[in-house]
Amino acid sequence: MNSKKPNLEMFAKIAMQCGGVINDIAMRFHVTRKTVAHWRDTDQKYRDAVNEAQEATLDLCESNLRKLIAGVPAIEINEKGEKVFAGWIREPNLTSIIFYLKTKGRNRGYVEKIEVDNGNAIQPKTLSKKEAAELLNSLKKKCQ
């Protein structure tokens, strides 16, 4: 195996292509995972390259999650030539909505149990079936 450290530009390019996954980076350079971890742990610029690649991957995941939350509306042109909502090509994904609310919306009460954040209890918010349906309908309307 070749354990020669690549130049930073090449390392950053490969790290980005691999989403910052150490094992994938190692496979591309034909080195062990431990070798790539050593490069990252002993050189701030290589650590920054891995972190940037991981952040870019997280951004991609969040972007795709947003698409699942929004769904894909079907738009038609009515007799007046106006665009109108005509149903869904792909409905908003309820599981994705719940996941997002439980993670990003937890400070607004979207939690399953009481959490403590800096000594302040975050009370869970329980929606009735009617409230959940209204929330889903309002989200659908925002996508129109």
Asked if residue 30 is part of any domain, the answer here is yes
Q: Would you write out the chain's pLDDT as a tens digit for each of its 144 residues?
A: 557 999 999 999 999 999 999 999 999 999 999 999 999 999 999 999 999 999 999 999 999 999 999 999 999 999 999 999 999 999 999 999 999 998 888 888 787 766 566 767 666 677 788 888 888 888 777 766
User: What total number of domains does the chain contain?
Assistant: 2
Q: Around 14, how many Cα atoms within 13 Å sit in the side-chain half-sphere?
A: 18
Nearest alpha carbon to residue 127 among 102, 104, 93: 102
Q: For the chain, where are the alpha helices, taking DSSP H only?
A: 8-17, 22-29, 33-42, 44-70, 94-103, 129-142
Residue 23 lies in a domain: yes
Is residue 85 in some structural domain? Answer: no
Q: Is residue 78 part of a domain?
A: no
84 SS3 class:
strand
Residues 12 and 61 occupy one common structural domain: yes
Is 37 among the domain residues? yes
Residues 59 and 18 in one domain: yes
Measuring CA to CA, how many Å separate 70 from each of 2, 49, 56, 114, 125? 46, 32, 21, 28, 22
Task: Please give the residue range of the domain that contains residue 36.
Answer: 8-65
Please name the residue that has the structure tokens 């790290």: 15
Per-residue pLDDT, 58: 94
Q: Whole-angstrom Cα distance, residue 98 to residue 69? A: 9
Q: Rounded to whole angstroms, how far apart are CA atoms 82 and 87?
A: 15
Whether residue 63 contacts residue 52, with contact meaning beta carbons closer than 8 Å, is answered with: no
Say whether both 57 and 102 belong to one domain: no
Is 70 inside a domain boundary?
no
